[in-house]
Amino acid sequence: MPLYEYLCEDCEGIFEVVRPIREAPEPQPCPECDEECERVMPSAFSAFVMRQGYPRRIPDRGNYWHLGQEVTYLPKKARPYEHPQVTKRREQEPLATQDYTDLVDQKIAERRIAREDRRKERELKKDRMAKKAKELKPAAHPKPRS
């Protein structure tokens, strides 16, 4: 069954009702004030106005709409593309003890490898310096020619 929208002219509310197509043109009682309401075409409500940087649905009831859902207050902090009142902050699952131990082991192993690399690098550097010194020595103190 399709979803239809109805506008209450008494309380200026818009509500949606899922009902059979043949019943769609019939008036529907407002869930707020029980007044008979006429169906509105969805195209009439695809219009939004921007106010205070937020899209507002027409007719303007003073609320805000975001991702097709009503926002009843303006949050101080909102992330883009997320409904401020619906999307919950995703909590990161705490690691299981085994996972944590594995992670620590992995970090230790990574550091050990890095340390080993640095040590090798130092050794190579020392070797190169020694070689250079050896090469330079004869030049610095040339042997007297006989």
Smallest distance, Å, CB 89 to Zn ion? 35
Cis peptide before 80 (omega within 30 of 0): no
DSSP 8-state symbol, 95: P
Binding status of residue 33 toward Zn ion by CB under 5 A: yes
Binding status of residue 9 toward Zn ion by CB under 5 A: no
Listed in order, strand segments (DSSP E) in 1-146 are 3-8, 13-18, 28-29, 36-40, 48-51, 54-57, 64-66, 69-71
Nearer Cβ to Zn ion, position 14 or 71? Answer: 14
Binding status of residue 71 toward Zn ion by CB under 5 A: no
Smallest distance, Å, CB 16 to Zn ion? 14
Binding status of residue 16 toward Zn ion by CB under 5 A: no
Question: What does the alpha-carbon distance between residue 106 and residue 102 come to, in Å, rounded to a whole number?
Answer: 6
Options 35-43, 44-52, 61-69, 100-108: segment touching Zn ion (CB under 5 A): 35-43
Taking CB under 5 A as the criterion, the residue among 4, 6, 7, 8 binding Zn ion is: 8
Binding status of residue 32 toward Zn ion by CB under 5 A: yes
- Does residue 25 contact residue 15 with C-beta atoms inside 8 Å? no
